[in-house]
Amino acid sequence: MSKIDHSVKGWQGVPFSSVNIQGAFWRRRLEVLKSVTIGVCLDQCESTHRIANFAVAGGLTEGKFEGIYYNDSDVYKVLEGAAYALMTEPDPSLEAEIDRIVELIEAAQESDGYLCAYFTLEAPDRKWTDMEKHEMYNGGHLIEAAVAYYQATGKRRLLDVACRLADHYDAVFGPGKRHWAEGHEEIELALVKLYRITGEERYWKLGLWLLEERGHGHGVGMIWDKPEWGPAYCQDDVPVRDIREVKGHAVRAMYLYTAMADVVLASGDTAYVEALDRVWAHTTERNMYLTGGIGPSLHNEGFTSDYDLPNESAYCETCAAIAMAFWNHRMNLLHGDGKYADIVEREMFNGALAGISLSGDKFFYVNPLASKGEHHRVEWFHTSCCPTNLVRFLPAIGQYAYAVTENGIAVNQYMDGETTIAAADGRKVRLIQSTAYPWEGRIALAVLPEQAGEFEIRLRVPGWCRGYRVSLQEEGRLGDNEARLEKGYIVLNRKWSPGDTVLLDLDMPVETVRSRPEAEANRGRIAIQRGPVVYCVEQTGNEGLDYDAFALSPHAPFAVEHREELLGGVTVLRGHTAEGMPLVLTPYYAWDNREAGFMQVWVREAEDRQLYRF
Amino acid sequence: MSKIDHSVKGWQGVPFSSVNIQGAFWRRRLEVLKSVTIGVCLDQCESTHRIANFAVAGGLTEGKFEGIYYNDSDVYKVLEGAAYALMTEPDPSLEAEIDRIVELIEAAQESDGYLCAYFTLEAPDRKWTDMEKHEMYNGGHLIEAAVAYYQATGKRRLLDVACRLADHYDAVFGPGKRHWAEGHEEIELALVKLYRITGEERYWKLGLWLLEERGHGHGVGMIWDKPEWGPAYCQDDVPVRDIREVKGHAVRAMYLYTAMADVVLASGDTAYVEALDRVWAHTTERNMYLTGGIGPSLHNEGFTSDYDLPNESAYCETCAAIAMAFWNHRMNLLHGDGKYADIVEREMFNGALAGISLSGDKFFYVNPLASKGEHHRVEWFHTSCCPTNLVRFLPAIGQYAYAVTENGIAVNQYMDGETTIAAADGRKVRLIQSTAYPWEGRIALAVLPEQAGEFEIRLRVPGWCRGYRVSLQEEGRLGDNEARLEKGYIVLNRKWSPGDTVLLDLDMPVETVRSRPEAEANRGRIAIQRGPVVYCVEQTGNEGLDYDAFALSPHAPFAVEHREELLGGVTVLRGHTAEGMPLVLTPYYAWDNREAGFMQVWVREAEDRQLYRF
């Protein structure tokens, strides 16, 4: 039974812009993102006519629309990512380039607020006739870019474009107006963002209305006409409050759930929470890869049947992994439960991160967990949603680190750096996190409130961690009533004085992972994880091995070695196959950054007759 | 097919007397052993007439035999343990007391060398008529005591008694003489010890002959007459070279295998090695408890059927756990494989160690893995083999730490202290081991050869350890060809200079252990181990819980806390039951050292619906 509960408040996110990341792991990624990836993506948007389409639509240059109807979104996503980069480090030339593009976008907006270069140029008479044509998807990404750029620079120009577009939607669609079930979700979460920055209630209400439109037979267009897809492909098969199972296109599903988790904070509709909880369990318990990848099938870029998790043919779109992080971050804020931050972490260090080369200029769209050697990152895609999603995912990675709880602060992700957080009571607390995570499980957290005071600090105990030590640098062990475990967090509720330092030591052993037996592809196989990092066997470094022609004992020990010079600095695991061949495991996210060759995450398990049992 | 292979040599043991243990864990045990346990056991031997029996048999005092026919052995075992204590620390008053008892023993020896107070006093006409009557078992323990006391003091008096006794056996039994299948093995391994110290080949050959006597229908006496026992009870059902399965009385079986592993080094009979390998697999894969305990049944103090491993009614005699250590130490030396040292370690920190209270004056004979609260250590037993086995097991614990390999030294057990080892080539190497093992997995090993030189150092990677780091303090990471893994060891083969220090860091996470599914008692249950230490839930410290009325998530995290003030200094694991109750796990070996209450090793596993799966 649905009810309205305005106590559905949850935790508050902490913007990445207040998180100064220092540690090598993310710092290097951010530098490459800034120095390479943004430029690469802007160049691609330029050379593929994605940017020019706006100029043509705006009448600024001659020409016609080139590319696919959703190509506007890639430009918006690169702008969003560039805005995030500007938030942490000013860059006048990048800002000038964005300003130039903003002018083109603005020019492309029609007088009633409509904005979608494809329709303006190619099919003005077919606007709003096919819900698969990504009109609002494009618009959603414009809104996200506009919000980001406004936050980064204070410039309203793109934000005004976004508001006019949202107002246009609001004028055309809504109760008593036209129906609309957008084929690719995105607009709904974007409207919540726009509400948050403008304070205009109508934006989140339009987002809610768009969510509520789904599952009532309003869908019209290409998806609904294709019998092998149908309404489930874009989550239009049931009303969102009745969702029980994850279905259809993976990215669309994740964006939908992300929006639901956003909207419910405003609507207080507990039916949404219940639907989210159901579909989260269904997604994570039966339809998620070890890497956090989701959506096994190329056919629908999405879900098939429970436990269908093939490795070589895994689709696991990079965007879907990123969207899982988006959704799970919201679920963490909604429920204050570390198990969702576990999934965010899984995407951060595996499924999402694998999508980009260490050099920052090559991308995976598809992320299999096994390859005979034919699968490689490339520079760009015809449909290039994944590179442009990475451009906005990575610079904002710091947003996952902390949250503001009712009584203090939660540390959700471990990354070396510092931040200043305004707690719910207005108290400002500076935190300095020192750690070599994800390679080491030791974290020192210096707590520096403006003044001494009592509040809670929650430290997530990752799902992979079975044993931890927590103490205060000065006082040693914490009292039994100073540290309790709750929903995946160590809760330290005490009086903090500036400079108090918490020492957290998370056991980070090499772990043999077994798949649940229903997952046929992994039967008789094991995988190796250490901390949050899933490992793989790459042919490079293991030249003596052939694809799937070796086995690993579940008890095999590994030498844990950090190699600063390898793959941007990784901890490798050196051991032996059951056949006695030397074996080096490297992080999955870093695969295909050297010579081409095979790769496997799930390897054959050797029956270990040598070992005693109980 | 049996063949003689005189290359069956194996590694050499390093006597505990050259291992100076410094670390708190064993140091405390050794101090209590010396200051409490030896005295307690001598007093018990005195007050129960065990010592007086010798005086009466020797005609030094009036009286009659009191007690059971195998009671001589307890006196011998205490003397053996006292001798071990004297080896590490002189104690004139203890030595004087032993000398006094030696005189009584010598007096009890008959003129032909025969020595067994029970038969001398009670049934001189029934000597050698019932092979269950422990005549040679007693004799074996005399020999072990005599060898130990000779090593400790250089005094030959008891050794001469032992030689006369062994010569008497050799005169009466052997090819062309009388048959004998001793009901309780012990003499066979003792005769090898006597050979090693005297150089008299006939002693190990008599041991071999006694082994070969078994399984040929020579058994006569009480065991063989009891249909529910029969020859398998004392391993007289098949010739030893044909042994396939562990059977019968657990201690007897272990002493048999120990002797076989000793004798084969002299005999080179590969059929023995094959039999040992078969029965080792059968014992450890199907008939061993998590604690290293063996022999589930009170009925025969031994084995029943495969996977019959009940927890509450587990017999798991302390002597059997100690004997498992004896046997596995020999297997380690024979095969140079760390998997046997794993079992030694399992006994050291669990099954065997549980047999003695922290105070050193109370003992378990029976070691269940679950108790509703009725099972407690006591001061002594009518059949008191277990206290007197602990008296000789603990002071010699250092013998398990090192071995001399063909090309260097193996570090088998981690214990803080120092030793000087003569390698196979005569080179003397001093080793200083610094570690807080078993509470921490970090070990620093300073290597101090007399002169720089090339040799190997093997470091055992315990079976519970999946990830380790090994480096040199000065040089950092070892080269790929400097450290290889072989048979459970990291093999460091390099040129060592005095002072080179190896840093080994063994991941020591909290581990959820599952029993193999065939073990019915543990279905639906999990246990917790950290490093070599098996944990349990005791009622003390968990007053809110009822016996077996709680469950534990297999993913539950635990705070790892070292409590120097608790139970002699232990690392406890603090977490929660699945029902949300606080839970403290303490080492199994330390249970029943506080108020009486329930104890469980295997606890009910909660189905964890909260967690994502792959």
Residue B482 has a pLDDT of 75
Residue A480 has a pLDDT of 66
| Cβ partners under 8 Å of residue B293, min gap 6 | B314, B316, B320, B321, B350, B351, B367, B369
Q: In terms of DSSP bridges, do strands B510-513 and B500-506 run parallel, antiparallel, or are they unpaired?
A: unpaired
Same domain, A461 and A596: no
Same domain, A489 and A514: no
d(CA A553, CA A604): 9
A468 touches chain B (CB under 8 A): yes
Q: Does the pLDDT at position B485 exceed 60?
A: yes
Q: How distant, in Å, are the alpha carbons of A241, A421, A427, B491 from that of A451?
A: 45, 14, 8, 55
Output the CA torsion sign for A156, A159, A163, A168. positive
d(CA B556, CA B578): 8
A349, A371, A400 - which closes a domain: A400
B469 touches chain A (CB under 8 A): yes
Same domain, B164 and B260: yes
Q: CA A489: distance to chain centroid?
A: 21
Q: Do A610 and B490 touch (CB under 8 A)?
A: no
Residue B2 has a pLDDT of 62
B 232-291 → A contacts, CB under 8 A: 281, 284-286, 288-290
- B474 pLDDT tier (thresholds 50, 70, 90): confident
Which residue in the list B80, B132, B182, B301 is annotated as catalytic?
A: B301
Say if residues A433 and A416 touch (Cβ distance below 8 Å).
yes
CATH number at residue A451: 2.60.40
How many CB atoms neighbour CB A298 within 10 A? Answer: 12
Residue A555's nearest CA partner among B13, B147, B463, B81 is B463
Is A335 domain-assigned? yes
B476, B506, B536 - which closes a domain: B506
User: Is the preceding peptide bond at A231 cis, omega within 30 degrees of 0?
Assistant: no
**Mean pLDDT of the A306-322 span:** 97
- B480 pLDDT tier (thresholds 50, 70, 90): low
Nearest residue in chain A measured CA to CA from B490? A559
Q: What is the pLDDT of residues A344-393, one digit of tens each?
A: 999 999 999 999 999 999 999 999 999 999 999 999 999 999 999 999 99
Residue A132's SS3 state is coil
Same domain, B227 and B255: yes
A 330-369 → B contacts, CB under 8 A: 339, 342-343
Residue B244's SS3 state is coil
**Mean pLDDT of the B367-396 span:** 96
Q: What is the pLDDT of residues B539-575, one digit of tens each?
A: 999 999 999 999 999 989 999 999 999 999 999 999 9
Q: Does the pLDDT at position B1 exceed 80?
A: no
**Mean pLDDT of the B163-182 span:** 97
Say if residues A83 and A33 touch (Cβ distance below 8 Å).
no
Nearest residue in chain B measured CA to CA from A342? B612
Same domain, A78 and A57: yes
Annotated active-site residue A385? The verdict is yes
Is B190 domain-assigned? yes
d(CA A586, CA A565): 13
Residue A40 has a pLDDT of 97
Residue A182 has a pLDDT of 97
Same domain, A488 and A469: yes
Q: Does the pLDDT at position A554 exceed 60?
A: yes
Q: Extract the tokens encoding B554.
A: 């297999």
Same domain, B328 and B197: yes
Measured torsion, CA atoms of residues B260, B265, B267, B268, in degrees rounded to the nearest 10 = 110
* Residue among B469, B557, B609 whose CB faces A466 most closely: B557
Residue B613 has a pLDDT of 73
**Mean pLDDT of the A127-153 span:** 97
Domain count, chain B: 3
Is A610 domain-assigned? no
**Mean pLDDT of the A139-165 span:** 98
**Mean pLDDT of the A330-346 span:** 97
Q: Note the residue count of chain B.
A: 614
Q: Note the residue count of chain A.
A: 614
d(CA B367, CA B355): 7
Q: Does the pLDDT at position A73 exceed 70?
A: yes
Range of the domain at B353: 14-400
DSSP letter (8 states) at residue A395: T
Q: Does the pLDDT at position A450 exceed 80?
A: yes
Residue A78's nearest CA partner among A114, A51, A111 is A51
What percentage of chain A carries pLDDT values higher than 70?
98
- Average pLDDT of chain A is 95
**Mean pLDDT of the A211-218 span:** 97
Q: Do A508 and B507 touch (CB under 8 A)?
A: yes
Measured torsion, CA atoms of residues A422, A424, A429, A430, in degrees rounded to the nearest 10 = -50
Is A14 domain-assigned? no
d(CA B447, CA B465): 23
Query: Taking each helix axis from N to C terminus, what angle separates B318-335 and B385-393, rounded to the nearest 10 degrees?
Result: 40
Q: Would you report the helix, strand and coil content of chain A in percent, each value rounded to 5?
A: 40, 20, 40
Q: How distant, in Å, are the alpha carbons of A281, B182, B224, B271 from that of B243?
A: 53, 17, 19, 10
Residue B503 has a pLDDT of 97
Residue A612 has a pLDDT of 63
Q: What is the pLDDT of residues A101-121, one digit of tens each?
A: 999 999 999 999 999 999 999
Annotated active-site residue B89? The verdict is no
Residue of B278, B286, B332, B466 best to disrupt the A interface, most CBs of A under 10 A: B466
| Cβ partners under 8 Å of residue B479, min gap 6 | none
**Mean pLDDT of the A565-592 span:** 96
- B583 pLDDT tier (thresholds 50, 70, 90): very high
d(CA A460, CA A468): 11
Query: In this predicted complex, what is the ipTM?
Result: 0.89
d(CA B559, CA B561): 6
Q: What is the pLDDT of residues B39-48, one digit of tens each?
A: 999 999 999 9
Chain A positions touching B574 (Cβ under 8 A) are: 480
- B8 pLDDT tier (thresholds 50, 70, 90): confident
CATH number at residue B64: 1.50.10.10
* Residue among A466, A483, A561 whose CB faces B510 most closely: A466
Same domain, B378 and B453: no
pTM as predicted = 0.93
Chain B positions touching A306 (Cβ under 8 A) are: none
Is A17 domain-assigned? no
How many A/B residue pairs have CB atoms within 8 Å? 136
Is A228 domain-assigned? yes
Q: Do A507 and B512 touch (CB under 8 A)?
A: no
Same domain, B537 and B566: yes
Residue A2 has a pLDDT of 62
Same domain, B35 and B165: yes
Say if residues A482 and A490 touch (Cβ distance below 8 Å).
no
Residue A474 has a pLDDT of 84
B383, B400, B417 - which closes a domain: B400
d(CA B516, CA A199): 60
Q: Does the pLDDT at position A318 exceed 80?
A: yes
**Mean pLDDT of the A223-247 span:** 95
How many CB atoms neighbour CB B368 within 10 A? Answer: 25
| Cβ partners under 8 Å of residue B419, min gap 6 | B14, B18, B19, B20, B398, B401, B402, B430, B431, B433
Is B613 domain-assigned? no
Amino acid identity, residue A360? G
Residue of A328, A460, A480, A612 best to disrupt the B interface, most CBs of B under 10 A: A612
Chain B positions touching A529 (Cβ under 8 A) are: none
Is B120 domain-assigned? yes
Same domain, B170 and B46: yes
Beta strands of A358-462 (E only): which ranges? Answer: 370-371, 402-404, 408-411, 417-422, 428-435, 442-449, 453-460
Residue B478 has a pLDDT of 77
Same domain, B394 and B413: no
Q: Does the pLDDT at position A608 exceed 80?
A: no
